[in-house]
Structure 1
Amino acid sequence: MAEPRSICFYTPSTDPSGMGAHVLDLIAAFAGTVDVSLMARALPQTQWLLDRARDLGAETVPLPSPRDPRFAPLVTAFLAARPADVFHCHVGTGSENWDGVRLARTAGCPVVVQTQHLPYALSSPRRRQAYFRAIAPVDRLIAVSAGLRRTYERIGVPTESFTTVANGIAPLVHPVPRAEARRVLGLDAHQPVVVTVGRLTHMKAQWQLLDAAPDLVARFPGLAVVLLGDGPLREALVERAASLGVAHAVRFPGHRPDARLLLAAADVFVLPSKCEGMPLAALEAMEAGLPVVATRVVGSEEVVVDGVTGALVPFGRPAELGAALAELLADPALRRRQGAAARRRYLAGFTRDRMAQETAAVYAELLQTAAQPALTGSAR
């Protein structure tokens, strides 16, 4: 199979978050063996992605909005100066602008790939038509979970257009001791601790965890519920915790770049999301050897094995979420057993190396096809 000599990653996202972490893992895996570049929006909330990609050895191209008249000339000029064998676009829900894909195809990139990071959740027929127009230049779509892929198949995307490559993460190189993580968060050494990580948004649905907190605090008086992350719902969640009488037990440390390190403070990890693609936070918790309690939604249900590596509960039922957390908080042996199983599951199927190898296989297959002469005898 053919192998790429150069890969250009691109995301039009204005808030890349977990998608950005995914792109960085691919850059880290490929940099040093092929020429790697990244095009991303030039915004305060995306600068971290450009900076870290540069640190990993990628050439970076800060881009204005696709609506800016400078956008197309910048993309075209870069791809002319540094031709890419593979142009790999990363999008979330399907609402982003795909002009980069169209420009890459026009520039002659042999292979154009697009990874979908979130389930298709748009109901507008106009937006659906726009999505199909946008993916027309794409050679292959990659889904980060099988459940996510099915949401696109339901709107008519052909099955053969997709390859599923489950998310993967690199192991944590320098973990911190439990005591240090708890010190940083202002937690006692022996109190029970539940942690969730994610932006404070409707999609992450942290309200369910807060609604479960009163019963948990009544049963485990020293309990700390830690919501690592920030977002538009922070004030509403703080007010909700106060109205439920659990403000003393709920911590809002805000966004922390060391959030993954601080998982060492947890006894149990919880992810009460309304929807996911394939949650990196849950994979990070598994790598840390934590049992994971999650809602049974797309992505999460492919990560957590109910009763083995944690628990899956229906979305919108805080009492069941609380019961699953209580079972683990009350049983240290169960926590250890399920945490160890979670780490084994991470090692078996959710590593960065596995993700990069499967992504490289997609590139190689498409490059080989692109190199084959057409029936007329001309190259593609």
Structure 2
Amino acid sequence: MEATKKIRVLQTIRQGKIGGGESHVLDLVRYLDKSLFEPVVLSFTDGPMITSLSQMGVPAHVIHTERAFDIGVWKKVKQFLKEQRMDIVHVHGTRANTNVLWAARSLGLPVIYTIHGWSFHDSLPTWNRKARILAEKFITQRTRLNITVSDSNHQTGVKEFGRFKSTVVKNGVNLDKFNSNGTYPDIKAAYGIPAHHLVIGYIVRITEQKDPLGMLRAYAKVCANFPDVTLLMIGEGDLKTEAVNLAKELGITDRVVFDNFRQDVPAVLHAVDIYCLPSLWEGFPIGVLEAMAMSRAVVASDVDGTREAVEHEVTGLLVPPKNETALANALERLIQDQSLRTQLQENAGKCVKANFDVRDMTHKIETVYQQVLAPL
């Protein structure tokens, strides 16, 4: 009896550095049913994600570009798709889509586009925002199927494009990896943080979207009132140098620990008491889900996808974006109220286990793959 042919699925993403979208791809290929699907990954830059994929035994390839709509790589991508004999192309994020869509369509391959947060946002200059809206409208109308990671992102697509369809599949978290009952090394001691200090964690890309400068200014207000608190800022990005300099200007250098991204995020979260994400916009924040899975108290900005992950006063506290006073007040509230902190931690852990298991997310995406290939 002839074995059933596996469905070869290309997962493609803009970079090999590990952020939210890259974590999503790693978990997706890890938990895909390998009796049915054969995943391959294409990234447009090298990085730790490629190493992780190799360790998992998942074929990973790099065609280098750091630009969207880079016509110079389109023929290389087309040749790659031919050689790899793909059945489905699943693109993650705008940049990956713009550099794969032409090649895939020219070969008659179905393209699925997961939008991990829209590329247009209110902080952009008007002309830039309009250009990005037109670009997103163009590519979403030329895919076989779009996946949005939050109801909010779906509604934004409808509002901005008029004609927009998507399947909402919310992100999940790897509960085997992010296990609040696991045993972890003493990260506080490794960083020289006093054992009695309460730790606030900011573990994201240090870019405009994540408002690191607002985070530091809010934390400076906290420092003035609470001496036994340390801020742990883990990440890299174009505002990293500015953030380090701002900490010096605010006189809080001795109360902030900066470090680059680490692969042992669960261990870092285990050392954190309060996880803080003051983003200006989000798709559906995987970092928040990871913190909740580790039963950490969360303070986050009340923006699109985040408010679907965090229930205010139940699994975390939500504050208006770009409001440093509100952010500082929420942090101080949790520092002072251990009972509330504990309640939020317990509720967060239960919520993620019940609603955001990456296995459930993967199963929903597997169903999408089978629907796309089903005869009409």
Give the structure 2 partner of residue 47 of structure 1: 47
Matched, 1:61 2:61: yes
Kindly state the Cα deviation for residue 348 of structure 1 after the two structures are TM-superposed: 1.4
SS at match of 1:294: strand
* Paired residues of 1:185 and 1:253 also in contact (CA < 8 A): no
The one of 168, 173, 182 equivalent to 2:172 is 168
* Paired residues of 1:3 and 1:367 also in contact (CA < 8 A): no
Task: Using the aligned pairs only, state the percent identity.
Answer: 26
Which structure 2 residues correspond to residues 24-43 of structure 1 after superposition, within 5 A? 24-30=26-32, 32-33=34-35, 34-41=37-44, 43=45
Which structure 2 residues correspond to residues 100-139 of structure 1 after superposition, within 5 A? 100-109=100-109, 111-121=110-120, 123-124=126-127, 125-139=130-144
Structure 2 residue runs without a partner (length 5+): none
Matched, 1:358 2:350: no
Matched, 1:322 2:328: yes
Letter in 1 for 2:291: A
Relative to structure 1, the CA distance from residue 174 to residue 19 in structure 2 (aligned partners, 3 Å threshold; closer, same or farther) is: closer
Relative to structure 1, the CA distance from residue 199 to residue 140 in structure 2 (aligned partners, 3 Å threshold; closer, same or farther) is: same
Kindly state the Cα deviation for residue 73 of structure 1 after the two structures are TM-superposed: 4.1
Kindly state the Cα deviation for residue 270 of structure 1 after the two structures are TM-superposed: 0.8
Kindly state the Cα deviation for residue 353 of structure 1 after the two structures are TM-superposed: 0.6
Give the structure 2 partner of residue 205 of structure 1: 211
Kindly state the Cα deviation for residue 287 of structure 1 after the two structures are TM-superposed: 0.6
Letter in 1 for 2:32: F
Give the structure 2 partner of residue 186 of structure 1: 192
Which structure 2 residues correspond to residues 1-380 of structure 1 after superposition, within 5 A? 5-13=7-15, 17-30=19-32, 32-33=34-35, 34-41=37-44, 43=45, 46-65=46-65, 67=70, 69=72, 71-91=73-93, 94=94, 98-109=98-109, 111-121=110-120, 123-124=126-127, 125-159=130-164, 161-173=165-177, 177=183, 180-368=186-374, 371-372=375-376
Letter in 2 for 1:248: D
SS at match of 1:338: helix
Count the aligned residue pairs: 361
Hey, what's the Cα distance between the residues in 2 that align with 1:145 and 1:72? 30
**Structure 1 runs, 4 residues or longer, greater than 4 Å off:** 13-16, 174-179
Relative to structure 1, the CA distance from residue 178 to residue 126 in structure 2 (aligned partners, 3 Å threshold; closer, same or farther) is: closer
Relative to structure 1, the CA distance from residue 219 to residue 257 in structure 2 (aligned partners, 3 Å threshold; closer, same or farther) is: same
Give the RMSD, CA atoms, in angstroms. Answer: 2.4
Structure 1 residue runs without a partner (length 5+): 373-380
Relative to structure 1, the CA distance from residue 239 to residue 12 in structure 2 (aligned partners, 3 Å threshold; closer, same or farther) is: closer
Kindly state the Cα deviation for residue 282 of structure 1 after the two structures are TM-superposed: 0.7
SS at match of 1:154: helix
**1:10-41 deviations in whole A, cap 9, x for unaligned?**
12447662211111111111163321111111
SS at match of 1:188: coil
* Paired residues of 2:184 and 2:267 also in contact (CA < 8 A): no
* Paired residues of 1:291 and 1:338 also in contact (CA < 8 A): yes
